[in-house]
Structure 1
């Protein structure tokens, strides 16, 4: 078994695993680095399964047991192409790297689904639905996620804007007050400027919702934390799965706000959609 094959084989085996073993696989795929540092008891707890289940899962991959599995997994993390993606090898063809990237994204989304707390989602939606105005903040790769959030939330008749410039973020945060909501997006939660802006916003009286790593310095500054770790070391690799997970969380929040508005609000959303009809060619074969 080669180094890269360990992660690849776990992904390929997902559909054939029973429910308990699949939980183990999803936890490992979501954060293989943490898995290499975990005891069998810690990994079993994270996956919400028994220790024998973890051991049985490991032996599926031609290793002697959990310690041997961790060693092989750790070796696999040394693979990949630095500054690109840890799942991809330098000699991969399109036939190889295309499914690898998509499978890694699917695994990250499944992990996020399991870890995202519905109670915290409801709390975040509570704040957003009552907001006087909403600002989405993101730097670097999180900037486009903030822009996507603005694109969705402008529909809700709440003043909304997105900023990916730290000076604008600071100025807006300092001018906020009670009833204003800032949603700050950061995969690592360790960017100094992002943390400083969150602290400034809280000091101004704003509610700060963090879409970030749980237990990160940024999370400690937020009023509400939607904490999900994505299986990606962005200190080394290009942001991919982490960005996709955050986009999905924005979709979850936008859906929550829409549903809270109730059925009477659907007419407003239809009006926005109808405004685009004149800009598009009709579909071929369509009667409308």
Structure 2
């Protein structure tokens, strides 16, 4: 995990003075690499010993070493592959890095997910007349996966990865319809416009997207997830996993709200697959 990721991960556990230093660095890490210790202390409104103590908390020998590692964390990654992977990494190294960064992203998302937003989204879904999942690009397969989960709830459920179909569905939407708009950045112009069209027709829009993004502002409720992934430059990896987990959370919430009686319906669907599978092999003696 890069130094920047470590700072973000431990932000909530820092004391008040160290948190000020972290905020300055996270707000503009590139500028922080060019600051002297006195300049960083002044910008953070703390003393120089506090800055030194902060640096040593992150397993550096002091401020100069901290700046070197900070610069390295900004430069790491193989463009268009993954920010955690280097060009010369071995199979073992890049495999371990992908697993480790994904686990870290899931843990980070777990800590920051807004429970009231989850509750509100489940409220909308449980009352929906029909549900549509929208996803463009890498979010398209995530929308399709959501359809596989939610069709079990005895509701009309569809998924779209075509922008023209999304626009038409949004234009035909009514009060009681729920559209789940999935976008990591929340900056895709088409998706934002589609959310606005849907809401203008009375539909509810649940955004799975970045906090404070244009799509978040255009949604009825937003489930945001912090993942340090620049999808403008790298392949989307951890962001898709977090999206899938949040959709599992929503599907579970809807299932529990339906009550114990609904489990018989779910069992009937699962039992329908038994005839399509070979029986389990007996355990070896």
TM over 0.5: yes
Question: In structure 2, which of residues 201, 219, 233 is the aligned counterpart of residue 204 of structure 1?
Answer: 201
Q: Indicate the SS of the match to 1:77.
A: helix
Pair 1:116-2:110 in alignment: no
Cα distance in 2 for partners of 1:122, 1:54 equals 43
CA contact (8 A) 1:180 1:207 kept: yes
Question: In structure 1, which of residues 83, 99, 103 is the aligned counterpart of residue 100 of structure 2?
Answer: 103
User: CA, structure 1 residues 283+55, in 2 after alignment: closer, same or farther (shift >3 Å)?
Assistant: farther
Question: In structure 2, which of residues 29, 37, 40 is the aligned counterpart of residue 36 of structure 1?
Answer: 29
User: CA, structure 1 residues 256+9, in 2 after alignment: closer, same or farther (shift >3 Å)?
Assistant: closer
User: CA, structure 1 residues 146+34, in 2 after alignment: closer, same or farther (shift >3 Å)?
Assistant: farther
Unaligned runs of 5+ in 1: 22-31, 44-51
Q: TM-score, normalised to structure 1's length?
A: 0.81
How many angstroms does 1:94 deviate by?
A: 1.0
Could you tell me which residue of structure 2 aligns to residue 27 of structure 1?
none
How many angstroms does 1:250 deviate by?
A: 0.4
Q: CA-to-partner distance for each residue in 1:96-147, whole Å, 9 max, x for gaps?
A: 0011001100110001101101111000000000000000000000001100
Aligned structure 1 segments of 4 or more residues deviating by more than 2 angstroms:
5-11, 32-40, 52-60, 67-75
Pair 1:167-2:164 in alignment: yes
User: CA, structure 1 residues 54+235, in 2 after alignment: closer, same or farther (shift >3 Å)?
Assistant: farther
Root mean square deviation of aligned Cα: 3.1
Could you tell me which residue of structure 2 aligns to residue 137 of structure 1?
134
CA contact (8 A) 2:130 2:176 kept: yes
Cα distance in 2 for partners of 1:70, 1:132 equals 55
Question: In structure 2, which of residues 68, 77, 81 is the aligned counterpart of residue 80 of structure 1?
Answer: 77
Cα distance in 2 for partners of 1:266, 1:192 equals 40
Cα distance in 1 for partners of 2:28, 2:225 equals 16
How many angstroms does 1:70 deviate by?
A: 5.6
Unaligned runs of 5+ in 2: 15-24, 33-39, 45-49
Could you tell me which residue of structure 2 aligns to residue 61 of structure 1?
59
User: CA, structure 1 residues 207+85, in 2 after alignment: closer, same or farther (shift >3 Å)?
Assistant: same
Pair 1:231-2:224 in alignment: no
How many angstroms does 1:227 deviate by?
A: 1.2
Cα distance in 2 for partners of 1:243, 1:33 equals 24
Q: Is the deviation greater in 53-62 or in 166-175?
A: 53-62
User: CA, structure 1 residues 228+174, in 2 after alignment: closer, same or farther (shift >3 Å)?
Assistant: same
Could you tell me which residue of structure 1 aligns to residue 148 of structure 2?
151
Could you tell me which residue of structure 1 aligns to residue 124 of structure 2?
127
Q: TM-score, normalised to structure 2's length?
A: 0.82
Q: Indicate the SS of the match to 2:205.
A: strand
User: CA, structure 1 residues 6+239, in 2 after alignment: closer, same or farther (shift >3 Å)?
Assistant: closer
Could you tell me which residue of structure 1 aligns to residue 237 of structure 2?
240
User: CA, structure 1 residues 95+205, in 2 after alignment: closer, same or farther (shift >3 Å)?
Assistant: same
Cα distance in 1 for partners of 2:230, 2:178 equals 29
How many angstroms does 1:69 deviate by?
A: 3.1
